[in-house]
Structure 1
């Protein structure tokens, strides 16, 4: 389903490594990324061996089952080549490579994967990581012991649990089949890209809809701008061929693009004719596959880190609790500088604090009962007391109660004569007798 010329491959040494141990392949039906390990003298050999074995898969298949069987057989053959290489050249012992491959069969993608190179699918404006890293930190993530973000910066993030190497002649690849549709963009990359450029920025680059070659250049530039501490390899294929090129020749990049310089066992040169010189590693290997004792050590180290994280979390919680308690004490002390006049049962009382309560905690206490009965107060004053009257201080509260007491001691007269009425009685007129 992939049209001719709708893919691209690019590989770069990066800004730190002295040689490129990555290899990539982009053909008509086959797309592969291999990230070699084993130091300066082994990683490039391992990835080249893997690509050399994979090349034969770039052909049409009648079924996905046939493609899966061929992919597994090629990986097994590559593992055997690695074993023979380390026996013939002892200085290459420990070499290995990741392998992430996609074989297109009609409307399906047959996927084989081992290691920490990745395969992504960009579909319907969403980027999805299709493969799972076979790394120690991924196990920590899967078990819930660290987060995905912590895994990006974990000191053991490059420790591989499964890899195509000279230690195992029967590699355990993840193998599965997925349907693919026109408009899909498949991205294969080494951890030199995924370890520097996060998924969000990868998705933005894919969403631009640029041709595969320009998209790959864009992703590489982001990795270089991020420091590129490792080799960077990108293979990108558009399903539907929106950007056809003129040539259908497979593109091979990285170490595998110049196999004549490496001691690689292929059908053409024999192992005895390898002329690769003995060299010490010029830089640290990009990956490391340790023995079981080492795993016990780093598992214990991770436990120590988990204990330190718990201690730091508890310390932070303690500081937060102490801060809340301190703030609560300060707030409570402030409330105890306030006063108000209110009612307690049937009398007027002076309270210290504020009228509000904090749940079951009262923020006011009675400090003086004036013994002024509410029933003796005029109705409007009684209502004011029941609503409470704020005071600036205790003396201010006493002054308020004194005024209330005065109103009780000098009540308003019950009736007052009207000024229009004369209080002097009118005399009865005297009757004059009739003479």
Structure 2
């Protein structure tokens, strides 16, 4: 790799997936990660088409604002190309892709993002997530409905609210221009990394591993070691005083690095985008990392579902707590009843008495009480018997307790 290994792109299929639906690119000025969705039929095609279209803008721009406009325009053009491809290949209906990319312009970075792939910046000892996930659970976190910890295990955590694909002809792209400085290290990754490797672990790797390629390889390994079933793609870009992080020659990884493969036998129609926009775009099909349109009806439905899930969890917790309380109460009642079937002989203000219960107490709860007193004074007994009574003498029944009292009466000194 040129330029002392200042940038790198690495992609791995993961431990379960049969094909790699991720694509990545590290170029002269442009760095991109795309995570395809739509199942085996189209996720790889979607990310490959998007990255191949976007990498066409990899060149120098006079200003960062021109760069961010070019990047945003490239994502929208890729979206149109995906919609057109689906129209010509019906078997790809529902495919889509996330895209997170940066264009470097001297000491600035132009950012464009849609979906749940992420862009991070390590500056000093602080790792900052630059992008915001376009997911349903992130909406819930932003609105205060759930915590980030709850979002990590939420059953809808894979639901994307925004992607490039055949659903929205004018997708909303997040864009920004940020300053960068020598020593900064930028990370772009698919959720195959961010969903399985903690920010703390990513930060440790980025801080300690020298060289962009070694850091990217290490991050992929961390994801695989964590058991990540999903594809994982990582792009690392180091910034130094030379203003040169170019990967020479540019490298493409993942599905964008191999020939496109999809069913070419389906009927095709020569129809360009202006005509296509006159037709309603097709809805997506469910997928493990599926997309749902950002409509109010759907959001309301998911929010209601989340509330029902929270209510069920609360009811389950309360029922479980109630059962535990009932079990404790029943145990205490049965235990107390058991103690009341036992007796012992002891001292009651200097007089021998028969007690019902056991000698121990349960906190403030007395587990014994005087059942009957006798006329035997403790002082009339021999020293040995006095000590026995003071220490209490156990009896398994009232009859045995009475026999002990009779023996003590016979032992009195005259």
TM normalised by structure 2 equals 0.69
8 A contact 2:5–2:211 mirrored in 1: no
Describe the shift of the 1:221–1:368 C-alpha distance in structure 2 as closer, same or farther (beyond 3 A).
same
Instruction: Report the equivalent of 1:343.
Output: 348
Q: How much does 1:116 deviate? A: 1.5
Distance, in Å, in 2 between the alignment partners of 1:130 and 1:404 is 90
Alpha-carbon distance between aligned partners in 1 of 2:182 and 2:98, rounded to the nearest angstrom: 28
DSSP 3-state at the match of 1:167 = coil
**Post-superposition offset of 1:368:** 1.4
Q: Which residue of 1 aligns with 2:373?
A: 369
Q: Distance in 2 between matches of 1:194 and 1:117?
A: 8
Q: Which stretch has the larger CA shift, 98-107 or 146-155?
A: 146-155
| Displacement after TM superposition at 1:55 (Å) | 4.8
Task: State the 1:9 CA deviation.
Answer: 0.2
What's 1:288 paired with?
290
Give the Cα separation in 2 of the matches to 1:104 and 1:372.
101
Are the aligned partners of 1:212 and 1:236 in contact in 2 as well (CA < 8 Å)?
A: yes
Please tell me whether the aligned partners of residues 28 and 245 of structure 2 are also in contact (alpha carbons under 8 angstroms): no
Q: From 328, 334, 337, give the equivalent of 2:332.
A: 328
SS in 2 for 1:321: helix
8 A contact 1:57–1:70 mirrored in 2: no
What is the CA deviation profile of residues 78-127 of structure 1, one whole-angstrom value per residue up to 9, with x for unaligned ones?
A: 33444454456655554432111234455555543221212344566676
2:118 alignment partner in structure 1: 118
Residue pairs, 1:224-235, within 5 angstroms: 229-235=229-235
Query: Contact 2:29 / 2:245 at 8 angstroms: preserved in 1?
Result: no
Mapped pair 1:53 → 2:54? yes
Cα shift at 1:8: 0.5
Displacement of 1:221 in angstroms is: 4.1
For residues 371 and 180 of structure 2, the distance between their equivalents in structure 1, rounded to whole angstroms, comes to 81
5+ residue gaps, structure 1, are 264-269, 273-282, 411-435
SS at match of 1:193: helix
Largest Rg, 1 or 2: 1
Residue 162 of structure 1 aligns to a residue whose secondary structure is coil
CA distance in 2, matches of 1:204, 1:338: 67
Q: Distance in 2 between matches of 1:357 and 1:178?
A: 70
Give distance in 2, aligned partners of 1:358 and 1:12: 62
Question: CA offsets, 1:185-224, max 9 Å, x none?
Answer: 4322222333455556545644551432233233334555
Q: CA, structure 1 residues 66+4, in 2 after alignment: closer, same or farther (shift >3 Å)?
A: farther
Could you say what secondary structure the match of 1:362 adopts?
coil
CA distance in 2, matches of 1:303, 1:101: 35
Task: Verify the 8 A CA contact 1:4 1:248 in the aligned structure 2.
Answer: no
Cα distance between partner residues in 1 of 2:87 and 2:21: 20
CA distance in 1, matches of 2:59, 2:359: 83
Number of aligned residue pairs: 384
| Contact map agreement 2:45 2:261 (CA 8 A) in 1 | no
| 1:316 and 2:320 correspond | yes
Structure 1 SS opposite 2:79: helix
State how far apart, in whole Å, the 2-side matches of 1:353 and 1:185 are. 74
Q: Deviations over 1:58-79 (max 9, x none)?
A: 535645x555444434433433
Q: Secondary structure of 2:348's partner?
A: strand
Native 8 Å contact 2:8 2:247 kept in 1? no
TM-score for the superposition, normalised by structure 1: 0.66
Give the Cα–Cα distance (whole angstroms) in 2 for the partners of residues 384 and 158 of structure 1. Answer: 74
Give, in whole Å, the separation in 2 of the partners of 1:248 and 1:224. 28
Q: Distance in 2 between matches of 1:190 and 1:390?
A: 74
Alignment partner of 1:11 is 2:11:
yes
1-side partners of 2:114 and 2:32: how far apart?
Answer: 12
Range moving further from structure 2, 357-366 or 136-145: 136-145
Show structure 2 runs of 5+ residues with no match. 264-269, 273-284
Mapping 1:15-414, distance limit 5 Å? 17=17, 19-38=19-38, 42-51=42-51, 52-53=53-54, 55-56=56-57, 58-59=59-60, 62=63, 67-87=67-87, 92-104=92-104, 109-122=109-122, 129-140=129-140, 156-176=156-176, 182-197=182-197, 199=199, 202=202, 205-206=205-206, 208-223=208-223, 229-240=229-240, 248-257=248-257, 287-291=289-293, 302=306, 305-306=309-310, 308-329=312-333, 331-333=335-337, 335-336=339-340, 337=342, 339=344, 341-343=346-348, 349-354=353-358, 357-371=361-375, 389-393=391-395, 395=400, 399=404, 410=414
**Separation (CA, whole Å) in 1 of partners of 2:112 and 2:402:** 84
Distance, in Å, in 2 between the alignment partners of 1:144 and 1:299 is: 12
Query: Is contact 2:127-2:203 (8 Å) kept?
Result: yes
Q: Is the 8 A contact 1:25 1:250 kept in 2?
A: yes
- Which shows bigger deviation, 11-20 or 23-32? 11-20
